[in-house]
Amino acid sequence: MDIPVADGSACGGHRGATSWARARERARRLGEELRSPVRDLPLERALGGVLAADLRALVGSPAFDASAMDGFAVAGEGPWTPVGTQLAGTPVAGLCLAEGEAVEIATGARVPKGTEAVLPYELAGTADGRVRGEAHRGRHVRWAGEETAPGETVLEAGTEVAPAVLGLAASLGHDSLPVRLPTVSVLVTGDEIATGGLPGEGVVRDAIGPLMPGLVAWAGGHLESSRVLGDGYRDLDEALTAGGTDVVVVCGSSSKGPADHLRGVLREAGAQPVVDGVACRPGHPQLLARSGNTAFVGLPGNPNAALVASLTLLVPLLCAMSGRTDPARATGTVPLSGEVRSRPEDTRLVAVRLREGRAEPVGHDRPGSLRGAALAEAYAVVPPGWAGTEVELLRLP
Ligand SMILES: Nc1nc2c(c(=O)[nH]1)N[C@H]1C(S)=C(S)[C@@H](COP(=O)(O)OP(=O)(O)OC[C@H]3O[C@@H](n4cnc5c(N)ncnc54)[C@H](O)[C@@H]3O)O[C@H]1N2
Ligand code: MOO
């Protein structure tokens, strides 16, 4: 499916900005078109991906008959004569229990052949050198394959790789997983931007770079690199066209100032605009473009505008690339408290907390400030010309 290009004048200005809802829809559709390639990633890199194939057990689980308790593996009726000790991780050395014999055993150790049950220490007596107690056939042994049979499908394609999935995959013998996990690089622009120390006198601390790893992970992407560039055209051009990731995010340089080169660089690179300016506040200069299989997202430099733009374009894009549900989307509407005025042409995104089912503005959500977003659970979506009482919410990570 072709993605309709931006309503405005290609990558050149904000004339005819796309409506907020339409911008999100275009980002989602571009993500579907640029479906992230399936990569076979080592387990330690696969967190957050979406399984591209069913996960099958390479071995049964448990993989061998093991004791579930510390105590004695026994065969036949008691009392039993102890014939050895078996710890977890040590070979069983061909030991086979005969009727009336017991082996002292640790939880997780392979039970000797012939074992019929394990008698936990708490239920065992050993007064006369023999083991006594009441063992119940089959009890306290984790029998091979009783939880999962070899070859069994345990998770279906499309499952999100959460921490437990990684542990499960490892326990079933996998070293890597085939996943869709779009890769992202972030370029923070601005000669005034510093990555440490106190801001002041024209120096601004980068407030967008630090929020990107969590946001990208929340949307099902993998942040591969983050760099701070100056305002130079050439630096941006080189970094932007260097390639290497599925998505390139540029922070700043999205407006019309003398140092705002993003649109020029994208135009030179032959990128196709998909969204060029969005009718929302904050965040209106944001953009989305595509060149080959790479998507470019331009976030405004004002940090709260950058966060709104991330939820508008980047999150739907990444989710669709991997086949996830957009975590920012909330269903239904809630009443909005306070005196919130809509704008005639733009959607407003107002930082709110939920109290007793109502969205309450937290304030401090000007374009340049993340204080409101840090206090908030969501943005209330206030459509152009809204005069109602109920609003949709856009969840914050
Ligand atoms: N003539 C116009 N000027 C501006 C418009 C407009 O429509 N016409 N829109 C304004 C809006 S809205 C925004 S948002 C900004 C977007 O500007 P850029 O994306 O080009 O970003 P910069 O100019 O580089 O920076 C804007 C502002 O944000 C600060 N900044 C930049 N990067 C960071 C960062 N990583 N962390 C913290 N703060 C950052 C920067 O110092 C500036 O104060 O354009 C308006 N202008
Ligand atoms: O709309 Mo700008 O994007 O307000 O900060």
What's the pLDDT tens digit per position in 299-333? 999 999 999 999 999 999 999 999 999 999 999 99
Q: Which of 275, 302, 322 is the last residue of a domain?
A: 322
**Per-residue model confidence (pLDDT) at position 2:** 42
Q: Is 231 in the pocket of ligand 1 (CB under 6 A)?
A: no
Are 132 and 15 members of one domain?
A: no
Please check whether residues 314 and 339 belong to one and the same domain. Answer: no
DSSP annotation of 312: I
pLDDT, tens digit (0-9, with 9 covering 90-100), for 348-374:
999 999 999 999 999 999 999 999 999
How many domains does the chain contain in total? Answer: 3
- Please give the share of the chain, as a percent, with pLDDT higher than 70: 96
Nearest CA to ligand 2 atom 5: 367
User: Ligand 1 center to residue 302 CA distance, Å?
Assistant: 5
Same domain, yes or no, for 378 and 255? no
The ligand minimizing its distance to the Cα of 305 is 2
For ligand 1, atom 31, name the residue with the nearest CA: 301
Whether residues 130 and 189 fall in one domain: no
Residue 12 has pLDDT above 70, yes or no: no
Handedness of CA 322, 324, 327, 328 (dihedral sign): positive
State residue 93's pLDDT score.
66
Domain end, chosen from 119, 143, 167, is at 143
Nearest CA to ligand 2 atom 4: 282
**Does ligand 2 have an atom closer than 6 angstroms to the CB of 284?**
yes
Q: Which residues pair with 393 in a beta bridge?
A: 380
In a domain, 291, yes or no: yes
- Stretch 245-255: mean pLDDT: 96
Average pLDDT for 165-170: 98
| Phi, then psi, of 148 in degrees rounded to 5 | -140, 130
Mean pLDDT of the chain: 94
Residue nearest to atom 9 of ligand 1 (CA): 255
Taking the CA of residue 309 as reference, the ligand 2 atom at the shortest distance is: 3
- Rounded to an integer, the average pLDDT of 110-122 is 97
| ipTM over 0.90 threshold | yes
Nearest residue (by CA) to ligand 1, atom 25, is 301
Distance 272 CA to ligand 2 centre (A): 23
Region for 374 from its dihedrals, namely left if φ exceeds 0, alpha if ψ lies in -120 to 50, beta otherwise? alpha
> Based on the domain organization, do 251 and 294 belong to the same domain?
yes
Same structural domain for residues 218 and 265? Answer: yes
Which residues lie below 8 Å from residue 274, measured CB to CB, with a gap of 6+? 3, 4, 5, 6, 26, 27, 30, 288, 289, 290
Pair (220, 285) in one structural domain:
yes
Which of 82, 117, 143 delimits the end of a domain?
A: 143
Task: Tell me, yes or no, whether 173 lies in a domain.
Answer: no
Domain boundaries, position 29: 10-36+182-322
Contacts of 233 by beta carbon, 8 Å cutoff, 6+ apart: 261, 264, 265
Mean pLDDT of 217-234: 96
Centroid of ligand 2 to alpha carbon of 282 (angstroms):
4
Does residue 27 sit in the same domain as residue 74? no
Q: Are residues 347 and 286 in the same domain?
A: no
Q: Calculate how far, in angstroms, residue 366's C-alpha sits from the geometric centre of ligand 1.
A: 12
pLDDT at residue 222 is higher than 60? yes
Within 8 A by CB and 6+ apart from 234, the residues are: none
User: Looking at the structure, do residues 220 and 311 belong to the same domain, yes or no?
Assistant: yes
- Residue pLDDT, tens place only, 46-74: 999 999 999 999 999 999 999 999 999 99
Distant-in-sequence, close-in-space partners of 155: CB < 8 Å, separation ≥ 6:
51, 54, 55, 165, 168
Ligand nearest to the CA of 278: 2
pLDDT in tens, 195-216: 999 999 999 999 999 999 999 9
Report which ligand 1 atom has the smallest distance to the Cα of 299. 19
Mean pLDDT over 135-148 rounds to: 97
Same domain, 212 and 127: no
Domain assignment of residue 17, yes or no: yes
Distance CA 87, CA 71 (A): 11
Ligand 2 near 367 CB (within 6 A): yes
Q: What is the DSSP string of 23-84?
A: HHHHHHHHHHHT-PPEEEEEHHHHTT-EESS-EE-SS-BSSS-EESSSEEEE-SSSSBEEEE
Which atom of ligand 2 has the smallest separation from the CA of 281?
A: 1
pTM of this prediction? 0.91
Percent of the chain at pLDDT exceeding 90:
91
* pLDDT at residue number 357: 95
Q: Which ligand has the minimum distance to the alpha carbon of residue 263?
A: 1
- Residue 306: which CATH number? 3.40.980.10
pLDDT at 95: 83
Distance 337 CA to ligand 1 centre (A): 30
Q: Does the structure show a pLDDT above 70 at 384?
A: yes
The answer to whether residues 312 and 355 belong to one domain is no
pLDDT at 7 over 70: no
Residue appearing with tokens 């206090």 = 375
Which residue from 302, 313, 346, 349 has its CB within 8 A of the most atoms of ligand 1, so it is best to mutate? Answer: 302
Report yes or no on 317 lying in a domain. yes
